[in-house]
Structure 1
Amino acid sequence: MMAFYFVMITMIIMLFCLFFEKGRPEVILASVLVLFLFTGIITPEEATAGFSNEGMLTIALLFIVAGSIQRSGIVDRLFQRLLQSSHSPKKRLSKLLFPISFISAFVNNTPIVIASTPMVKKWCDENGMSPSKFLIPLSYATILGGTITLIGTSTNLVVHGLLLENGYEGFSFFQLSAIGIPITLFGLAYLVFFSNKLLPDRRSASFTEPELLKKYTGEVLVTEQFSYINRTVKEAQLRSLKGLFLVSILRHERAIAPVSGETILKEGDRLVFSGDISTIAEIQRMKGLQLQGSSGSYFPKNHQLIEGIVTPHSSHLFKKIKDTNFRHQHQAAVIAVHRQNQRLKSKIGDIVLKPGDVLLMVAGEQFHKKKDFYDITPIDHKLVTQRQIRLGWLSIGWLGVMIILVTIGVLSMLTAMAVTTLLLFLTKIVTPGEGRDLIQWHVLLMIACSFGIGTALLNSGVAASMAGLLIQLTAPLGLLATLLSIYVLTNIFTEMMTNSAAAVFMFPIAIEVAHTLEIDLLPIAMIVAIAASASFMTPIGYQTNLIVYGAGGYRFHDFLKIGFPLTLIVMVTTLLIVRFVVMI
């Protein structure tokens, strides 16, 4: 009984830490796993079982295969062609979303969104349209498309691996298509017809509505060359800059805020501005004002401005920018920070980074983004050689052959991905070093740790207790109500943590429900897989949502407004298909 309450309390604390971003997700999950191991709730073998799970290993290989396709430039070229359209908004959106959802059924959706986001933003700027009308639908389309096949999302592979581990056959390659295709078609139709009305119009050029600006916070040093030293802020015209607001003046570690028009400017003052990215970047043209970065006034000779989003697994999370050694690691300096329309009042170096923060960086030719942030800088053109394109098509061809072999039962999913990866290495399309860099190790660590935590839920009786409670509450209403409760609970978990972790935590409960009701586990596993991927109501439940969250200047409630109806559409469609098609 002590183990039951200990696991229950620990899980509640873990969910709290994940939801309120009290640390990096993989660190939180790893800490909980070690705690359960130390207290004897799970054995060393159970704690490490996730690191050798077939689904987890398949995901690792799939990162390499999908990465080789994304790096070839084929996907980028496709997006550029899709955006060359002058149709009506509905036709334009459908022309973009349907191909993207199809691609995401076979290629990891995170690199798809990373590659397409800067193109969509640039295209919107050139055509006088708002990126906020397109980026959330872009993310949702890739999530929906990922539910169509076994390799469309890591969640499907994780549940597949759990089924195999528990003695079941697992999913076939297109088994989830019975649900994935209908929910994708219904979901895309909803986005095409209603997203334009439900999503905000947030264009950075709309200076007449300051609340709609993507507010960056930047810092400027007043040098001896400034013409308005010992004169007022009003005289220097620093309160009438287009799209900018002077938040505070830092003088000898003392903050002057709010700043009045009669405040006298002194040499060495640091002016903290909040406002439009382009105006902050241009302010350095004013003689005597020096834009400051996280490493001082660091501007390489051939510098470029780069915009990036801090990932949920960045090594810089919850650290002050000045403590991250940013210049050494990335050959860049942070000159401005945007956090979901908040006005940050501290110095650039003192800002503590959080997931989803958008950084404006000045970088040299040796810029390295690593895996600390997603690069969303609009790119005028991307140089791709014909050889890269040919090798990209070769990678796609091999993947297609392996999919056919898996579908007809010649190879297992793990074997097919292993053979494809070996071919990539032998033909030098991907080197072993590049393959190592393409793998998202933090994702694998979270998934592997989740397996051990899921076992703790079983061993302690928490899973059986939750399953019993669900059945007790829903039994009078019938089997459909029980399936609904499983979907809703999984969906709540996935909005609070990663999709794969939510699936792993719900799987023990699904097993207990299937055993108690004496029904087949496979339909319930399908519900868990779909519900864990269907993260539409918050920006933190799915990586692609977090990418567009900062890039589109969205607010938290924007996701809830457009995501709640889509969640209902996907939920109702999934439950009806499972109950009246799959289970008959």
Structure 2
Amino acid sequence: MPWDAWLTATVVVALFAVLAFTRAAPDLVFVAAVVLLLAIGIIDPAQGLAGFSNQGVITVAALYVVVAGIRETGGVQWIVHHLLGRPRSLMRAQWRLTAPVTLMSALLNNTPVVGMLIPAVGEWARKYDLSVSKLLIPLSYAAILGGTITLIGTSTNLVVNGLMLDRIGQGFELFDIAWVGVPVALVGLVFMILTGRWLLPNRPSVRAQLEDPREYTIEMEVAPDGALVGRSIEEAGLRHLPGAFLIELNRDGTILPAVSPQERLRGGDRLIFVGIVESVVDLQKIRGLWPATGQVFKLDGRRADRHLLEAVVSDSCPLVGRTVRDARFRNRYNAVVIAVARNGHRLPGKIGDIVLRPGDTLLIEAGAGFQAQTCNSRDFFLVSRIEEAATPRHERALLAASILMAMIFAVTIGLISMLVGALLAAIAMILTGCLTLERARQSLDWSVLFTIAAAFGVGAAVEATGLAATLASGLVGLAGQDPWLVLVMVYVTTALFTAVITNNAAAVLVFPIAATLAQDLGVSPLPFAVAIMMAASASFATPIGYQTNLMVYGPGGYRFSDYLRAGIPLTLVTALVALLLIPLVWPF
């Protein structure tokens, strides 16, 4: 190999070592590797920065905006309540999540499926006290397995099919590869769920580690003619809120303590909850439920444009020694107190009757200007905004869902590309008011986007220096003249390169080598093409092997080694199933 190929190999090995044995941020490591390759002249700027203009990276960025539109209109809560439901165990939770994802990914592009479910799975895990790290890798793996079932399940299958048509004028029909894809997906799902308790990390999310222990008492009212009227406490999703419980129900002045989960709600019911601040955020997002204080509806602007904040009362605050009602808090600050905590504990009773003291923590609903207005004020020691606490725009939920479905349908039938579909849907979310421009900007996960983009630069170096072609030829050449051994080496080679460069690039690189070997051996190229499809799609061993793996990297709190531990055994199991079945379905 030339010197630049050896240097590239050294950089790639060092990159993997840093990711595997340190906790360095993946985006920093990948960008540093690209900068190093640029500095020593292995790649030029066009190659190193090509990932930042790559269609896949831009598509993922646009999908973040689309998913934010679904989240801001309450779609995430609907998915948690209706689609995922209430699991009785971790294993059942994994099955309820992965089975429908696998089916959806067989016919839909798996990237938007994963993007849509990441926030829903995070909320679902918190609601039922599940480790999110036990769920997000299975989410990505299930989407990848679903992509192996049909020709349109992943773009790699289409790329290989196109290469087949160009080379021998023969390709595959939509469900041809299902003969192998379905068994691979089933075996992969069963293996993943049965071994998940040992192979998947049990790691709390960053939010869980920083969870605020302060407790509040909050009174919520069932909206007349709202979505909750006529539903039981359990059906409304009010029984298993994380960190909160319903202590009583006030109906027309009659107090109902120890409320039964089967109690039917009526318009005007007042529900008294006790819980931490995260639970108050959850209550704010439930459609048909609003704070019982009528002061909230006297504030300026729409509720969807307001925020929840916490403010600590100072000893110089003019409200000290007065009740919230007498202090005329809303008139003074254009904000409403919806709960009060003292020394970290809840204060019972009506909000308006609480006498404020220095050090009290107020939970406040206010417009965007409250924090700027009080940042230099001596009335409060500290004012902090609670993230992800905006009230969903439920009235636009159907519109947001329609935009998402239209995007998926148009992409699935081939009317537009995934890139164009994602960009159009993102713009539609903003223009229709499902999402503000500010929230759209905040929805972008720049660490994931930089990691994916920089990975393209590293892959370009592996290809441009001839390192990939040299290794591929050498590995496949080890098999000799036995067609089945050649098939195994084609699979292994494709899988290895998919872990380093993109799956499409790996398929394009290995296919001509495999086709030439099939011609020299005098056997059919079809089994080799299917092996490349399976190996390039079923990439589980590294986070850079497939973009959905990278998408769940940060939200799951994962490390590089987590993918090695969970992904290598799954790769071996699915490879064994595929390699046993491929020659039976497509003989040499």
Q: Aligning the two structures, in what range does the TM-score lie when normalised by the shorter sequence?
A: 0.5 to 0.7
Q: Which residue of the partner structure matches residue 25 of structure 2?
A: 24
Tell me, what secondary structure is at the counterpart of 2:63?
helix
State the Cα deviation string for residues 60-96 of structure 1 (Å, max 9, x = none). Answer: 3333333333443324323223565587887666444
- CA distance, structure 2, for counterparts of residue 85 and residue 68 of structure 1: 25
Q: Secondary structure at the match of 1:429?
A: coil
Aligned-partner residue type, residue 143 of structure 2: G
TM-fit CA distance, 1:111: 5.5
Matched residue SS, 2:363: coil
Q: Secondary structure at the match of 2:42?
A: coil
Residues 458, 508 of structure 1: 8 Å contact kept: no
The separation in 2 between residues aligned to 1:26 and 1:190, in whole angstroms, is 31
Please give the alpha-carbon distance, in whole angstroms, between the structure 1 residues aligned to 2:208 and 2:65: 37
Q: For 1:475, what is the secondary structure of its paired residue?
A: coil
Per the alignment, residue 397 of structure 2 pairs with 389
Q: Tell me the residue number matched to 1:9.
A: 10
Q: Is the 8 A contact 1:182 1:573 kept in 2?
A: yes
TM-score normalised by length of structure 1: 0.54
Counterpart of 1:448 (choices 429, 446, 453) is 453
Q: Secondary structure at the match of 1:532?
A: coil
Of structures 1 and 2, the larger Rg is shown by 2
Q: 1:463: Cα distance to partner?
A: 1.2
Give, in angstroms, the shift of residue 183 of structure 1. Answer: 3.5
Any conservation in 2 of the 1:30–1:446 contact (CA below 8 Å)?
Answer: yes
Q: 1:41 aligns to what SS in structure 2?
A: coil
Q: Which residue of 1 aligns with 2:134?
A: 136
Q: How far is the alpha carbon of 1:466 from its aligned partner? A: 1.0
CA contact (8 A) 2:5 2:467 kept: yes
> Per-residue deviation at 1:467?
1.0
Offset of residue 449 of structure 1: 2.7
The separation in 2 between residues aligned to 1:67 and 1:487, in whole angstroms, is 35
Counterparts in 2 of 1:169-568, with a 5 A limit? Answer: 181-190=182-191, 194=194, 301-302=362-363, 366-368=385-387, 384-406=392-414, 410-475=415-480, 478-486=485-493, 488-490=495-497, 493=499, 503=503, 506=506, 510=510, 513-514=513-514, 517=517, 523=530, 526-533=533-540, 544=552, 547-548=555-556, 560=565, 566-568=570-572
CA 1:196–1:524 in structure 2 vs 1: closer, same or farther (change >3 Å)?
closer
Q: Matched residue of 2:41: which SS?
A: coil
- Separation in 1, partners of 2:563, 2:467: 35
Query: Number of matched residues?
Result: 412
Distance change in 2, residues 1:100/1:80 (3 Å): farther
**Once the 2 structures are TM-superposed, how far is the Cα of residue 387 of structure 1 from its aligned partner?**
1.2
Q: Residues 19-39 of structure 1, C-alpha deviation per residue, up to 9 Å, x if partnerless?
A: 223633223222332333333
Task: Give the whole-Å Cα distance in 2 for the aligned partners of 1:282 and 1:517.
Answer: 75
- Describe the shift of the 1:532–1:90 C-alpha distance in structure 2 as closer, same or farther (beyond 3 A): closer
Q: Which amino acid aligns with 1:14?
A: L
Compared CA separation, residues 197 and 87, structure 1 to 2 (3 A): same
Compute the TM-score of the two structures, normalised by the length of structure 2.
0.54
Q: Give 1:6 shift.
A: 1.9
C-alpha contact 2:94 2:138 (8 A) present in aligned 1: no
**2:84 and 2:97 in contact (8 A); partners too:** yes
**Equivalent-residue separation in structure 2 for 1:452 and 1:401 (angstroms):** 32
- Check conservation: 1:149, 1:174, Cα contact below 8 A: no
Separation (CA, whole Å) in 1 of partners of 2:201 and 2:160:
43
Give secondary structure in 2 for the equivalent of 1:474. coil
For residues 302-342 of structure 1, what are the alpha-carbon distances to aligned partners after superposition, in whole Å with 9 as ceiling and x for unaligned?
A: 399xxxxxxxxxxxxxxxxxxxxxx99xx9xxxxxxxxxxx
List per-residue Cα deviations over 1:331-368 (Å, max 9, x = no partner).
9xxxxxxxxxxxxxxxxxxxxxxxxxxxxxxx965134
1:103 to partner: Cα distance: 5.5
CA contact (8 A) 2:27 2:451 kept: yes
Do the aligned partners of 1:303 and 1:365 also contact (CA within 8 Å) in 2? no
Cα deviation, 1:378-409, whole Å, max 9, x if unaligned, reads x9xx9544313212321233124313431xxx
Residues 148, 481 of structure 1: alpha-carbon distance in 2 compared, 3 angstrom cutoff: same
- TM-fit CA distance, 1:489: 2.3
Q: 1:26·1:446 contact (CA, 8 Å) conserved in 2?
A: yes
Report the equivalent of 2:63.
62
Does the CA contact (< 8 Å) of 1:467 and 1:510 recur in 2?
A: yes
Between the two proteins, what is the percent identity of the paired residues?
Answer: 21
**Structure 1 residues 51-130: aligned runs within 5 Å:** 51-81=52-82, 84=85, 94-102=95-103, 106=110, 107-109=112-114, 112-124=117-129
